[in-house]
Structure 1
Amino acid sequence: MQQTGRLYMIPIPIAEGALHTLSPDVAAYTRDLKYYFAENVRTARRFLKSLHPDLVIEPIQFSEIDKHNGPDLALLRKWLKDGHDIGVMSESGCPGIADPGAEVARVAHEIGATVVPLTGPSSLVLSLMASGLNGQSFAFNGYLPVKEPARSQRIKQLEQLSKKENQTQLFIETPYRNNAMLDELLKHCQGSTRLTIAQNISAPDAFIRTKTIADWKKGKPTLEKQPAVFLLLS
């Protein structure tokens, strides 16, 4: 009886070229893997060549995870049942966390395949580590609503929940709307609420700061159009 393949959850550096943030296991496994599900195939190819300059990419098979329809789950099942080990890569950070890689892992479990998470950077964990906010109780809320009044209502809800539960609330925003998000937080949150902004984590120019809303209002930064994590604790 043929053994089912394994699924390896492969982290990608958050900052450009930050290979030092990956465990040695990432390099060890990616040297031999020939099958991948990737959020972006171009990013995946570039990452593999940066990790293994001598690697021949052409024989490797990639399946891109469609932004609207999700991964090709029939192909996933076939590869695993045929005994192929598969890597999963997101655009950056850890697959399965705030990206469509979770669906791939779910199906692997359904057919009895072993899922192996490899160690690497997660912007959510790293930002929480550096924030000084409550790391015992926290929640990730993904993207907040874009339009009003849903956006301001959600911000107030998260602030109230944070205060009630003493729970850090994490969320993200599309990079070009970072400054609009900051404006909304300063407008709708209480002055004593602490806000962490974590941007370009693990890069030499990383920006990670925690201040009260009142203090942020005294010197509001202009945020770059780069991925950021926002954390609230009231």
Structure 2
Amino acid sequence: MNSQYGTLYVVATPIGNLEDISGRAIQTLKSVGRVLAEDTRRTQQLFSHFGIRNQLVSLHDHNERQRVENIEQWLSDGEDLALVSDAGTPLISDPGYHVVSTLREKGFNIVPIPGASALIAALSVAGLPTDRFCFEGFLPAKPSGRRKKIASLKSEARTWVFYESSHRIQQCIDDLVSELGDERKVVIARELTKRFETVISGPLVEIVSILANDSNQLRGEFVVMVEGRAQEESTQQVSGEQLLSLLVPHLPTKLAAQITSEVTGENKKALYQQALEMKR
């Protein structure tokens, strides 16, 4: 792409506490030609707090595809742009995917300005395994679809994470209990970085009790993290020699050695020699 073309900066903004924005993000929002915002009114509040004076252009789920042509033209004219969502990192369950995907295919320069993300913030304090995890965005709003999705994740070994809203959190927890039982460990991070931030954790039976006894825990924005299903490990290890002794009387020597090698990982040639000895 021509170096004279502008750059689209994808800028993370605070998820609650305004002081979580980076100096680089503020400087970028001040210096670009215009800012593409999910909700211009909400972004204007952020701008007012930090003294940012810049043109805001709405970019949300309902007009994103129509905006692409304008955005391409602005960038082609050499204008730098910034993309922000209402809170956190854009495109993480927020608008912007179509714009970024289209511009990426056409070779425009797209630069991330990293910062707050409710997903990562929640995982960092959950106390659940985070070396591997899967993010499900928002689960289906309808109960039947939500239960079906939870059922499909029941055997997931990784920690799985999703966002939920205040008007569905109670039903969502009930559905988790229905599909996963009482003992699966869950962590709920609520109103992260805000005044009433709480993080509660425990088996689902305890979570249900906490919510029943404190209605405040049903208010706000939620990140729900579910411990992956424990992988059942075999308590009995079978050696190559043991397995060979079971197979050799019933199978050709070469086939018995091949199967034993595939099961145990031991050397097939060595196993074949062992099998020949057993045959003798």
TM range, smaller chain:
0.7 to 0.9
Q: For 2:48 and 2:133, how far apart are their aligned partners in 1?
A: 36
| 1:51-78 CA distance string (max 9 Å, x none) | 22xx444xx2x33124334241001100
Counterpart AA for 1:123: A
Q: For 1:124 and 1:2, how far apart are their aligned partners in 2?
A: 34
SS of 1:74's partner is: helix
Q: 1:28 Cα shift? A: 1.5
Whether contact under 8 Å (2:12, 2:88) holds in the other structure is yes
Q: 1:2 Cα shift? A: 6.6
Determine whether 1:46 maps to 2:45. yes
Q: Which runs of 5+ in 2 are unaligned?
A: 230-280
Determine whether 1:97 maps to 2:77. no
Q: For 2:176 and 2:145, how far apart are their aligned partners in 1?
A: 13
Counterpart position of 1:226: 220
Counterpart position of 1:159: 154
Counterpart position of 1:68: 62
Counterpart AA for 1:5: G
Q: Please, what TM-score do these two structures have when normalized by structure 2?
A: 0.73
Q: Please, what TM-score do these two structures have when normalized by structure 1?
A: 0.87
| 1:166-209 CA distance string (max 9 Å, x none) | 20111112332222222222333222211111111112321112
Determine whether 1:189 maps to 2:180. yes
SS of 2:78's partner is: coil
Whether contact under 8 Å (1:2, 1:82) holds in the other structure is no
SS of 1:7's partner is: strand
Q: Which runs of 5+ in 1 are unaligned?
A: none
Whether contact under 8 Å (1:22, 1:119) holds in the other structure is no
Structure with bigger gyration radius: 2
Paired residue for 1:128, among 123, 148, 152? 123
Rate the CA distance shift 1:219–1:89 in 2: closer, same or farther, 3 A: same
The structure with higher relative contact order (CA 8 Å, sep 6+) is 1
Displacement over 4 Å in runs of 4+: none
Whether contact under 8 Å (2:161, 2:225) holds in the other structure is yes
Q: For 2:109 and 2:180, how far apart are their aligned partners in 1?
A: 44
Whether contact under 8 Å (1:186, 1:216) holds in the other structure is no
Counterpart position of 1:210: 201
Counterpart AA for 1:24: G
Rate the CA distance shift 1:215–1:104 in 2: closer, same or farther, 3 A: same
- C-alpha RMSD of the superposition: 1.9
SS of 2:64's partner is: coil
Q: For 2:12 and 2:139, how far apart are their aligned partners in 1?
A: 25
The structure with the largest helix share of the pair is 2
| 1:26-65 CA distance string (max 9 Å, x none) | 111112223121111111222112122xx444xx2x3312
Q: For 1:45 and 1:87, how far apart are their aligned partners in 2?
A: 14
Q: For 1:153 and 1:120, how far apart are their aligned partners in 2?
A: 33
SS of 1:219's partner is: helix
Determine whether 1:80 maps to 2:80. no
Between 1:81-90 and 1:4-13, the stretch displaced more is 4-13
Counterpart position of 2:192: 201
Q: For 1:2 and 1:219, how far apart are their aligned partners in 2?
A: 56
Aligned pairs, how many?
223
Counterpart position of 1:168: 159
Q: 1:19 Cα shift? A: 2.4
Q: 1:232 Cα shift? A: 0.7
